Structure 1
Amino acid sequence: MKEDDFEKLVRRLEVDATISPRAFRTKVALISVAAYLVLFGLMAALATYLYLCWTFFQGHAWALVKLGAIGLAVAIPLYIVVLRVLFMRFKPPTGRAITRAEAPRLFETLDKLRAKLKGPKIDHVLIDRDFNAAIVQHPRFGLAGGHTNYLILGLPFLLGMAPNEMLAVIAHEYGHLCGNHSKFSAFIYRQRHTLGALHAQVTETSEPEWSDRILARLLGWYAPIHNAYTFVLSRQNEYEADRAAIEVAGPAAHAGGLVRSQLLGRWVGERYWSRIYEEAERAMRPAFMPYASMRTAFKACHDEWCTSERLAEEWERKAGLVDTHPSLRERVDAADIAPQLPSVPSVTGADAFLGANATAALIAEFDQDWWKEERPSWEERCKYVTRSKARLMELNAVPLTSVPLMDLQEFAYLTWEFDGAKAAKPILEHLMRQPGGPFPRASYAYGRILLDEGARRGLDYLEEAARKDRTLAEACVRSGCEYLMEKEGQDAAQEWFERFAATATA
């Protein structure tokens, strides 16, 4: 299903869900049960066929053998497909498991939530590296049933949130499993994620078996329809989970947590990690490890990420079709409370729910694992930057007109990387005037710079680069379409792409 068709279907279903919620939920139930009916109906039909062959042709051995062989030739492969759908195994969520002995306060809180909200047991609590929190019902036997409940809490999230906000978040996630959602909604919530994981696992197989190809085709038709119906219901379920958070922690803590997680989470993704990795350009080892630095950085940079301007931006941001969560504005408005900028918490969620000892141990463990993974690329980056800057100094010491032709492109790219596009632009212009071309990579870089400056003629240079070097085609079309999508809209991007595909790579 194309993206436009999916969006139109979702918009229509949102209207249906608003006008007649009960009828819509009935449709979702029918769509969800349809997969089971088809699977079990197929198995029953094949079994019936084999039984009828046996019953009506017992006295005709040759006919029985012939029809039975045909039946088995069809039945066995199809039974394999059905069983793979029903019992396909999935990888469990990853993270560092934490026990009741390590974090008794967290598990006491989960016990109280279970008693208050009448929900199921949380089987495992995992701490991971993300600025997020989630509940996962991991299917043990695919669509056949059985699941394990995981609560996943990101260590950065715990280090950034206030205790009452963290309680609201945990209650929200737990609310996806309990009575506030109803057993029907919990089933849909679980099936949506199971089918999504099943579809991803089958389509991402590098060398698919024949059964995977059959599954991929079937799921390619069914999954988008199921996804559209359950997408709308999932957004409604987020409001139900929000009500669980309000019931447990109160509207102020819930709204405050939503605002803080949106503002701080965006800053962590955009600025915190990039600043950590920028240190690789100056030293062979970071001065401060990332997880050990988080608590201090979140406080020290509070005035950077927690501003009225950023809140206004997030307040106007609309939820897209890749996010089952409603927008910040919709969720805070539903809590019937005015949004406020969060203050610096004196105690964090990590302090309150994990305790000082467990928090310190996790920080040390996460930093150690992070450095073990990042050290090779970090050190390589540091060496590369040192060499490149030394080389750039050599090239800058020579007049541009005296730089050898074979070094000009290297000069332009190093200047672009370390001194910016404005400094690299005249070097590229000088290079493209030289005899001995074409210089497709220079054309690509120059086109990128022009587009970044808002000059549409940069598209001409991208087309030229792709014509001269087809290995650049993918990068050229991506840059051109991104520019046109932002400046002129999807129709203009599509029109240019079609012309590009017809001429630039001809």
Structure 2
Amino acid sequence: MSTAAQDHPAAPSPGPRAALAVMAVLAELSFVGASMLAWAPLILLQAIFLGPTVAAVVGVAFVLGTWWVVQPPAPPAPVLLRREQAPALFAALDALRERLDAPPLHGVALVDELNAAARLSGGFLSLVGGRRTLLLGVPLLRLLGPQEALAVIAHELGHFSRHHGRLGHWIYIVRAKWDVYLDSDPAHDSGIDRLRRWIASAFLPRFIRLSMQRSRACEFEADALAARACDATSLVQSLARLELADALMRDGLRTRLHELQAASIRPPAAFWDLVADSLRDEPAARQAATLEAGSRRPARRNDSHPPLADRAGALGEPVAPPSWTDAPCAGESLLGPLWRGTFDGANARWAEQIAPAWRLRHLHLAALRAGPDPADTAIDPLQHTLQRLQADDEIAASEQSLAALRQHAQSQPDDAPAQYALGLALLARERPEGIEQVRVAIRLDRRFAVAGYGAILSQLELHGSEGELSEFTRRRALAAEKLESLDTGLWQHLLKEELAAPPPWARALLLEAIAEDRALDACWVLRTERSNDAGQRFTLNIFVARVCHDLMAADEVDEDLLAARYGSYLRTLFPHNELARVMLRFDTEVFHPPLLERFARLPGCEIRRPTRPINVDVVRIDSL
């Protein structure tokens, strides 16, 4: 253990903590006060007609009600482990708590994330009362050794052992309410929102700077406590493993998954074993380069964790590639007999979540490799060639596949999809020239703006400055705003305007993709043209679905998940300068008969025929 790790961490200076708490109180009161302005005329009328006493009572009631409404919703309560299920884990927690002088936990929960967290929930503004829950990611327990996992757990308990965890949680809630007003588009702000934006621009940057400094200081303090309770080497090794795993899932593993996607219609059944094996097989030189690149990553406005190099340096430890062995992982050691079923469940949930999109992408890759059907006149040869080149690059991720995309783009300098595909390939390799390449495509075709700026932001999240992030967030918001009018009256548009069925190749792929979707009773896919308020003409691909409410509940899927799934189908099959829209109807709702008649008169738009009676025994009537 290093000397630095043996020293007791210095208590945070009370001055900055007090200043930050005061600023947080002012921020909270300002937010509630701005929200209360809408009620001011009503309270004033109460004072005029019913007297000041009644107005004061009403005012207090509105303040308390408004304060309650503007609080963020509580996260879902996790399923907690019982002590008898994992005695080794709870024994280790008891020993760590004693060493750290940490307060008792209210619960320990296993989650499917590659992470661990100390969650404080409930209580009055998270300052009084509340429940302390330790969240342990099952993937984390697979990738770490026992000592490394205990060091991470000690770090999380360290947040509970000092007051900084409670203050930090409350400050995070306050900051989250205000942060949206720094980057969002002000075009349609109400008067209250304009006031909030003015307050945010004048006050919030300093509050964020102070709170981020405070949050990072808390991380250093929790690190020192963990090193004191366990050892600094294990903690730094665990952080290095997480840095490498994050980089692998962002880059290297993507190519491997594309290879598997091309080979099998089913996603891998043991995904987190695949991650562990890929990390173990990665050359040490590449791991060292990844760790070095991570130390140069710019700090983000809302990133409370210091870079790995700074955290290791504070503990007096070097950052080096960890050793990967076949020794029992932390999950086996800490959870015992419970581990195998828990780990298999995490893998199964990952596969279940990704299976629908995986299935369609596999079918699409197979169709691209087979080549276009000469009898299908709806296939655009140029588009098919471009999609084939993109698929080859996703799977190979080589300089040769990139060169083929570049050559195609150079041969079609005015073709926005070709320029866009090259830009995406460059961004996937985290090359900065990809940003300008995507912008070339956007200048050629403004319909790429929303998707293109989103792809650029993904790159800037890793390598861009705060100014660049803010600029492209604003650009994306403005581009998205121009699409809002396309959704107004869309059901009526389907009744009156010209519609087309999807091309036969797309219909065939969708039919196979939804084969195992139990909750989907019927669906239709339509293509139509529509202009926004700025006069831009867009192609809309619309997935109209009728879903079974009871089967959704049985499969534990909700409306948002299905909408995201069906939208991803359309974005997989059609170019990014076309728009995807999903329109859902439950089988307990009325389906507009004239719309069904219109669908019946359009051959090829019906992907799945209804199996349940329509407009029979409905419990609610919705109009268009």
Q: Work out whether the TM-score is over 0.5.
A: yes
Residue 152 of structure 1 aligns to a residue whose secondary structure is strand
**Native 8 Å contact 2:154 2:225 kept in 1:** yes
Map of 1:195-214 to 2, 5 A cutoff? 195-196=174-175
Residue 323 of structure 2 aligns to a residue whose secondary structure is coil
Aligned to 1:24: 16
**Native 8 Å contact 2:125 2:170 kept in 1:** no
Aligned to 1:336: 316
**Native 8 Å contact 1:89 1:141 kept in 2:** no
Aligned to 1:414: 388
Aligned to 1:327: 307
Give the 3 Å change call, closer, same or farther, for CA 330–265 of structure 1 in structure 2: same
**Native 8 Å contact 1:188 1:230 kept in 2:** no
Aligned to 2:362: 382
**Worse-matched range after superposition: 166-175 or 244-253:** 244-253
- Correspondent of 2:63 among 74, 78, 97: 78
Aligned to 1:153: 136
Equivalent-residue separation in structure 2 for 1:498 and 1:97 (angstroms): 41
Equivalent-residue separation in structure 1 for 2:438 and 2:31 (angstroms): 51
Offset at 1:176? 0.3
Map of 1:325-364 to 2, 5 A cutoff? 325-345=305-325, 346-355=327-336, 357-364=337-344
Equivalent-residue separation in structure 2 for 1:244 and 1:485 (angstroms): 30
Unmatched 5+ residue regions in structure 2? 1-9, 35-44, 185-189, 394-400, 480-533, 537-624
Aligned to 2:208: 227
Map of 1:463-482 to 2, 5 A cutoff? 464-466=443-445, 470-475=446-451
Unmatched 5+ residue regions in structure 1? 1-17, 43-52, 55-61, 205-209, 396-402, 433-437
The one-letter code matched in structure 2 to 1:322 is N
Map of 1:180-259 to 2, 5 A cutoff? 181=162, 183=163, 185-196=164-175, 220=200, 225-259=206-240
Give the 3 Å change call, closer, same or farther, for CA 197–319 of structure 1 in structure 2: closer
Equivalent-residue separation in structure 1 for 2:417 and 2:386 (angstroms): 10
The one-letter code matched in structure 2 to 1:272 is L
Give the 3 Å change call, closer, same or farther, for CA 256–306 of structure 1 in structure 2: farther
1:50-91 deviations in Å (ceiling 9; x for gaps): xxx99xxxxxxx977355666567555434213435x66412
Residue 150 of structure 1 aligns to a residue whose secondary structure is strand
Offset at 1:247? 1.1
Offset at 1:294? 4.6
- Correspondent of 2:85 among 97, 102, 106: 102
Give the 3 Å change call, closer, same or farther, for CA 218–192 of structure 1 in structure 2: farther
Give the 3 Å change call, closer, same or farther, for CA 120–217 of structure 1 in structure 2: farther
Offset at 1:271? 2.7
Offset at 1:321? 3.1
Equivalent-residue separation in structure 1 for 2:464 and 2:346 (angstroms): 44
Give the 3 Å change call, closer, same or farther, for CA 104–265 of structure 1 in structure 2: farther
**What count of residue pairs does the alignment treat as equivalent?**
442
Aligned to 1:92: 76
Residue 177 of structure 1 aligns to a residue whose secondary structure is helix
- Correspondent of 2:158 among 149, 161, 175: 175
**Worse-matched range after superposition: 279-288 or 195-204:** 195-204
The structure having more radius of gyration, on CA atoms, is 1
Residue 176 of structure 1 aligns to a residue whose secondary structure is helix
**Worse-matched range after superposition: 246-255 or 335-344:** 335-344
**Native 8 Å contact 2:460 2:468 kept in 1:** yes
Aligned to 2:50: 65
The one-letter code matched in structure 1 to 2:444 is A
**Native 8 Å contact 1:160 1:348 kept in 2:** yes
Give the 3 Å change call, closer, same or farther, for CA 460–327 of structure 1 in structure 2: closer
**Native 8 Å contact 1:135 1:152 kept in 2:** yes
Offset at 1:453? 10
Give the 3 Å change call, closer, same or farther, for CA 318–443 of structure 1 in structure 2: closer
Offset at 1:149? 1.3
Give the 3 Å change call, closer, same or farther, for CA 291–311 of structure 1 in structure 2: closer
**Native 8 Å contact 1:165 1:256 kept in 2:** yes
Give the 3 Å change call, closer, same or farther, for CA 198–253 of structure 1 in structure 2: same
Give the 3 Å change call, closer, same or farther, for CA 147–225 of structure 1 in structure 2: farther
Aligned to 2:441: 462
Give the 3 Å change call, closer, same or farther, for CA 145–70 of structure 1 in structure 2: same
The one-letter code matched in structure 1 to 2:362 is C
Offset at 1:288? 4.7
TM-score for the superposition, normalised by structure 1: 0.70
1:146-180 deviations in Å (ceiling 9; x for gaps): 311121112221111121111111101100011xx
Offset at 1:230? 1.9
Name whichever structure is richer in helix by fraction. 1
**Native 8 Å contact 2:181 2:200 kept in 1:** no
Offset at 1:192? 2.1
**Native 8 Å contact 2:457 2:469 kept in 1:** yes
1:318-362 deviations in Å (ceiling 9; x for gaps): 54433212221211111123334322242321122112x222111
TM-score for the superposition, normalised by structure 2: 0.58
Give the 3 Å change call, closer, same or farther, for CA 415–157 of structure 1 in structure 2: same
Equivalent-residue separation in structure 1 for 2:439 and 2:72 (angstroms): 49
- Correspondent of 2:244 among 235, 254, 263: 263
1:11-32 deviations in Å (ceiling 9; x for gaps): xxxxxxx9x9443233123223
1:249-270 deviations in Å (ceiling 9; x for gaps): 1222223223333234422443
Residue 347 of structure 1 aligns to a residue whose secondary structure is coil
**Native 8 Å contact 1:450 1:457 kept in 2:** no
**Native 8 Å contact 1:246 1:254 kept in 2:** yes
Residue 371 of structure 1 aligns to a residue whose secondary structure is helix
Give the 3 Å change call, closer, same or farther, for CA 248–273 of structure 1 in structure 2: farther
Offset at 1:290? 0.9
Aligned to 2:347: 367
**Native 8 Å contact 1:158 1:349 kept in 2:** yes
Aligned to 1:12: none
Give the 3 Å change call, closer, same or farther, for CA 493–386 of structure 1 in structure 2: same
Equivalent-residue separation in structure 1 for 2:355 and 2:347 (angstroms): 11
Percentage of pairs with the same residue: 22
**Native 8 Å contact 1:135 1:151 kept in 2:** yes
Equivalent-residue separation in structure 2 for 1:408 and 1:471 (angstroms): 19
Equivalent-residue separation in structure 2 for 1:219 and 1:499 (angstroms): 22
**Native 8 Å contact 1:411 1:427 kept in 2:** no
Aligned to 2:584: none
**Native 8 Å contact 2:409 2:415 kept in 1:** no
**Native 8 Å contact 1:440 1:465 kept in 2:** yes
Offset at 1:297? 4.3
Give the 3 Å change call, closer, same or farther, for CA 482–172 of structure 1 in structure 2: closer
Equivalent-residue separation in structure 2 for 1:88 and 1:485 (angstroms): 25
Give the 3 Å change call, closer, same or farther, for CA 445–84 of structure 1 in structure 2: closer
Residue 281 of structure 1 aligns to a residue whose secondary structure is helix
1:100-149 deviations in Å (ceiling 9; x for gaps): 22211111111122222222222222222222211111234545743111
